[in-house]
Structure 1
Amino acid sequence: MFYAVWLEGQLVWNIPLLTGLICIAVLYGCLVTFYTNIKIYHKQPLLFFLCLGILYVTLGSPLSTLSHLSFSFHMMQMSILYFIIPPLFLLGIPESFPKILKGINKLFLPPLVALYTFAVLFLMYHLPIVLTFLSKNSFVHNGYLVLLFIMALSMWCPIVKDRNKPFALLSGLLLMPACILFIITGFIGGLNNPFLAQMTANLCISPSAISSLHILPPPFNTGLDQIMAGILMIVMHKFALILTVRFGKKVHVQEWGRMG
């Protein structure tokens, strides 16, 4: 199934990203050890390390190539990046970290503004003209994704810290148009996959490599693929909300119990 992760005969691993994430993990471990009463094996550090691990698998491992082969795999990657990783990251940050670390919050937009901005940018990202443009400009594309991630961190703060259910409901409603876009376009014939087109143009994977993979069955890269992508996004967002609220309760209870 995973022969698609081969690039001209070799597995692609993002070593610079792995190095950066290891440095972040070491820095986090030092801060937890010297500035909190939390042990590395407690729930919050484990959630943070899990966040880093999922981030690497999603962006830096050979499996990330699959996100270019179909819209459903692409939407799974996007959902993990913006619905799974941000709450795990925030849940892994202890309240007792130094105040200087909390000053990072000033770099973010207010949560409600971030939510509306994220919803608009996320919808625009999946418009055919925007998606095609970004697929041809890697620097702009990466900048766009980073901006989305920053907005995602801001919009998840009220859900993680305050377990704000009305805000969580609003987030689901505002993200619905992007899901509906995929579902509707799937029913009316579907969109061309610009990322797959770029790979066949030797920007990511050579045409010979693509033609020799044969890993995706007929439902993929069709109208059904896009319908699956829209439904997948709805399910994963709901799943992330449920897990965030449940983990949030346990994490805050345990942390305040240790501080008491």
Structure 2
Amino acid sequence: MSLEIFGFRALWSPFFFIFVLLVTVGYFFFVTKYSLEFKGRRSLTKSQIILFILSMLLIYIVKGSPLDLMGHLMFYAHMIQMSVLLFIIPPILIIAVPEWLWRYIWSMPIIKTILTFFTRPIIALVLFNVTFSLYHIPFVFDVIKTTMWLHEAYTSLLFILALSMWWPLVNKVDINRSIVGLKKVAYIFASGALILPACALIIFNDSPMYAAYSDPNLWAQALTLCVPQSTLASLDLSGPEMFTSLSLVHDQQLGGVLMKIIQEIVYGIVLANVFFEWYRKDQEETEAEELNAYHPQPVE
């Protein structure tokens, strides 16, 4: 069955689109017009502009496009949502925001205290992965997935903790929280290992785990989070099988596999960047040593 039966509002979330658009316009207006008083201010680079727009576009795709509706219909679509929201958007957003603005945010006393605690590498790593794993416990998942305010609150919490988890890896402002070299490699591998049990539980379970997708009543209740009640009342829906040929178990397993694949691809890119930085630094040191060999310092 086509998703168009749910209507334009459910498919494209026009109010959320307006919100994302206002955030984007407000951000660029602030960083170009009202930031002259900040020390160390520099104009946005082309890459920062592109990355910020990309992050906002991805946020809208994840939470406002038909993908959001599909995430309530099928588990694998939900896992694609969460993968993009937690593993792709946070590092892009951190890099996109200029350093002078991050310094300003960190200069606020209360915020600095909070950020100082939550961006400690070990704390950030453990909090994110524990919160992520708890989310995928069937009982917890079903309650969150069928309760509007709880769903938005928990998703927002996961996103904030994902930002904290990515901060030590990609930020260039807080040197005390940045990790480099082998520590960065260990951090990435630890994150991948901590998320593995949740993904494995989903992938290798041979029965449906989540009532929000297997129970028609809870499934319909979950749909109310993105589809107007009046629209749902006019439809005769029985379950996810109306929109996909996948069985509940295969849908569940596909979701776990996609989550792990996307996470591994992102971490692989980060690792490749780490090794590239090592190689570049090694080359620079070698060239400096060769230059000193050809031009020795005079002896006094």
Matches of 2:56 and 2:8, distance apart in 1: 28
Give the letter aligned to residue 194 of structure 2.
L
Matches of 1:68 and 1:210, distance apart in 2: 16
Cα deviations by residue, 1:94-151 (Å, 9 ceiling, x for unpaired): 3344632233554331232122111111111111111121133211221111111111
Q: Which residue in 1 is equivalent to 2:6?
A: 7
Cα deviations by residue, 1:199-219 (Å, 9 ceiling, x for unpaired): 46x554316547499873312
Q: Mind listing any 5+ residue stretches in structure 1 that lack a counterpart? A: 254-260
Cα deviations by residue, 1:173-199 (Å, 9 ceiling, x for unpaired): 1111221121133x2344333563314
- 2:73 is aligned, of 69, 73, 83, to 69
Cα gap change, 1:136 to 1:63, in 2 (>3 Å)? closer
Q: Which residue in 2 is equivalent to 1:149?
A: 159
Matches of 2:191 and 2:185, distance apart in 1: 10
Structure 1 residue 218 corresponds to structure 2 residue 237: no
Q: Which residue in 2 is equivalent to 1:19?
A: 22
Whether the 8 Å CA contact 1:25–1:49 is kept in 2: the answer is no
Q: Which residue in 2 is equivalent to 1:132?
A: 142
Whether the 8 Å CA contact 2:32–2:43 is kept in 1: the answer is no
Matches of 2:92 and 2:55, distance apart in 1: 6
Q: CA deviation at 1:166?
A: 0.9
Q: Which residue in 1 is equivalent to 2:297?
A: none
Which segment is superposed worse, 241-250 or 43-52? 241-250
- TM-score normalised over the length of structure 2: 0.70
Cα gap change, 1:233 to 1:207, in 2 (>3 Å)? farther
Q: Which residue in 2 is equivalent to 1:79?
A: 83
Matches of 1:23 and 1:182, distance apart in 2: 40
Within a 5 Å distance, the mapping from 1:165-180 to structure 2 comes to 165-180=185-200
Q: CA deviation at 1:36?
A: 3.8
Give the letter aligned to residue 48 of structure 1.
F
| Number of equivalenced pairs | 246
Matches of 1:9 and 1:55, distance apart in 2: 18
Q: Which residue in 2 is equivalent to 1:192?
A: 211
Q: Which residue in 2 is equivalent to 1:243?
A: 269
- TM-score normalised over the length of structure 1: 0.79
Matches of 2:42 and 2:154, distance apart in 1: 38
- If asked which structure has higher relative contact order (CA below 8 Å, sep 6+), I would say 1
Whether the 8 Å CA contact 2:212–2:222 is kept in 1: the answer is no
Q: Counterpart of 2:98 in 1: which secondary structure? A: coil
Q: Which residue in 2 is equivalent to 1:46?
A: 50
Whether the 8 Å CA contact 1:183–1:230 is kept in 2: the answer is yes
Cα deviations by residue, 1:57-86 (Å, 9 ceiling, x for unpaired): 211234321111111100000011100000
Matches of 1:22 and 1:4, distance apart in 2: 31
Q: CA deviation at 1:49?
A: 1.8
Q: CA deviation at 1:5?
A: 5.7
Cα deviations by residue, 1:20-72 (Å, 9 ceiling, x for unpaired): 343234334557888544444x2123112211111112112343211111111
Q: CA RMSD in A?
A: 3.2
Cα gap change, 1:222 to 1:106, in 2 (>3 Å)? same
Give the letter aligned to residue 193 of structure 1.
A
Structure 1 residue 228 corresponds to structure 2 residue 246: no
Whether the 8 Å CA contact 1:160–1:245 is kept in 2: the answer is no
Whether the 8 Å CA contact 1:87–1:160 is kept in 2: the answer is yes
Higher Rg of the two aligned structures: 2
Give the letter aligned to residue 21 of structure 2.
L
Q: Which residue in 2 is equivalent to 1:256?
A: none
Q: Mind listing any 5+ residue stretches in structure 2 that lack a counterpart? A: 172-178, 281-300
